[in-house]
Amino acid sequence: MSIQTPPTLSQETQVMLDCLRQAVTKTLDRKRRLGQYAVLWSGGAPIAVGEDAPVQLTTRTVSQD
């Protein structure tokens, strides 16, 4: 049995990853404040969250991955 360690990211890659995470966080927050639904990927399938989400995409529950 071997223990795998996550790869070390370069400083440039880490900056890009942080920027993408910030953009997604801001976008999801804006959609929430506007009352729009968002489509997320959970358990190998898309799900919609939000008050106006389509019923066919809300039947699954969100897992905390």
pLDDT at 28: 93
pLDDT at 36: 92
Instruction: Please say whether the beta carbons of 37 and 50 come within 8 A.
Output: yes
- Number of residues that make up the chain: 65
At 18-65, the pLDDT tens digits run 999 999 999 999 999 999 999 999 888 899 988 888 888 776 555 544
pLDDT at 60: 57
> Whole-prediction pTM value?
0.65
Residue type, 57: L
On the question of pLDDT at 9 being above 70, the answer is yes
Map residue 49 onto helix, strand or coil: strand
